Amino acid sequence: MKKRKVNRRILVTAVLLVFILLFSAFLGIAYGQRPYIVDGVDRPTSQVNPDDTSQQEEMIVESKITRATFVGTGDILIHYTNWEDAQISETTFDFRPAFSAVKPIIQQADFAFANEETIPGGIELGLQSYPMFNSPSEVIDALADTGFNLIQQASNHTLDQGEAGIANALMTWSNYPDVAVAGSYTSQSQRDEIKIIEQNGIRAAFLAYSYGTNGIPVPNSYNINLIDETAIRSDVTRANEMADIVIVGMHWGDEDSHEVNEMQRSYGQLLADLGVDIVVGTHPHVLQPVEWLTGVDGNKTYVIWSMGNALSTQLAVPNLTGGLFGITIEKEERGEDVEIRLLDPFVVPTWNDYTSDYRNFLITPFDQVDTSRFPGDFTAHQIQTEELLRTYIKDLDIRSSDDF
């Protein structure tokens, strides 16, 4: 729970009230007050009928409550098999079918997050798969069509095509002005702009950072937001002044590990202490638990340590398991006071399905999985996944697509 106050207005109002009271006292002294007699004692007229409470009624301040929903999913990791499946002509691609099963859920969210793991620089830069990725620009069209409006473009692969890849991706994203893309830029002015989206009267500021670039030199410091305490402190401070909530995407952690490492813990607590509301973790390519952290001011921060992969052609069962992570944001306004509450966290676990010949990729909620195609005991995998997700929040709501 986080409280904000518009302190400047309160200060101005207080100064005006003090001035009016002092001025009134001055007039009373200068011109005199007409007394009246009570029990033979002179009383100032300002105390006539002191038992009359009709003029002492407090003004009732009504509260206004609004709500919005956040939903996030993990890495969009485009291998050559993904774009071959999406190819519809020599130069065009359609990734929308891969998102069709989760689209109804994403479109019900007010704030919807996805991690652009591989830079979509487009075919003009030459498509590439592991280890130096470049994805078709149509990936962007599919993410926008699905309903994502918070895109993290800060990963260890963001600079795989240099500044040209970033520029091409941002140019395509400019076709979708209602989407906030954070984490990599082509100018300092772009980098310094805090991305803001407003839904249902709730203003969300969005920031994103990556632990590194796989050793690729960074041409300009603004090309990618690297995880740095000084920069994060500055950015979050500005974001808190501009918005009701702050959402931060963090590309961190150990690949293929379900465990939260020390670096994640350290920066997660820093973000909580700075008053960040939601921290969204990516990079490990497997799921990690969710957790509530308490900041120095007693505020609660919801941390999704890793959302796993959403779409990829990785082979192991843990790498093909992801989730749609959601939470309700409630804003209560009472006069100049604003209180933010985060309520009812939930997860819809997902399975990245595809055929043996790497076709028909589909991000599938667990309740829609064709278990005959699953490589193993799906029921056991489902139980294991739920236990992992509930490591720190035992009553975490595990939902199915039927709940939307």
Q: 137 is written with which tokens?
A: 């620009």
73 and 12 housed in the same domain: no
The pLDDT confidence band at residue 61, using thresholds 50, 70 and 90, is: confident
H/E stretch holding 168 reads helix 162-173
260 near 227, Cβ under 8 Å? no
pLDDT tens for each residue of 156-210: 999 999 999 999 999 999 999 999 999 999 999 999 999 999 999 999 999 999 9
Strand partners, 347: 325, 398
49 and 174 housed in the same domain: no
352 within a domain of the structure (yes/no): yes
Q: How many domains does the chain have?
A: 2
Beta strand ranges found along 227-361 (DSSP E): 245-251, 278-282, 290-294, 300-304, 309-311, 321-334, 337-353
Residue 226 predicted with pLDDT over 90: yes
85 and 148 housed in the same domain: yes
176 and 320 housed in the same domain: yes
pLDDT tens for each residue of 245-257: 999 999 999 999 9
* Strand bridging mode 195-199 / 362-365: unpaired
User: Any idea of the CA torsion for 156, 233, 185, 189, to the nearest 10 degrees?
Assistant: -170
How many angstroms separate the CA atoms of 267 and 252, rounded? 10
Rounded to 5, what percent of the chain is helix, strand, coil?
30, 30, 40
Residue partners of 20: CB distance under 8 A and separation at least 6: none
31 and 91 housed in the same domain: no
pLDDT tens for each residue of 119-134: 999 999 999 999 999 9
Tell me what the mean pLDDT of segment 291-303 comes to.
98
363 within a domain of the structure (yes/no): yes
Tell me which residue range forms the domain holding 230.
Answer: 67-403
Q: 112 is written with which tokens?
A: 């919807």
Which among 234, 258, 191, 216 has a CA at the least distance from the CA of 119?
A: 216
pLDDT tens for each residue of 67-78: 999 999 999 999
49 and 196 housed in the same domain: no
CATH classification at residue 173: 3.60.21.10
20 and 82 housed in the same domain: no
Residue 9 predicted with pLDDT over 50: no
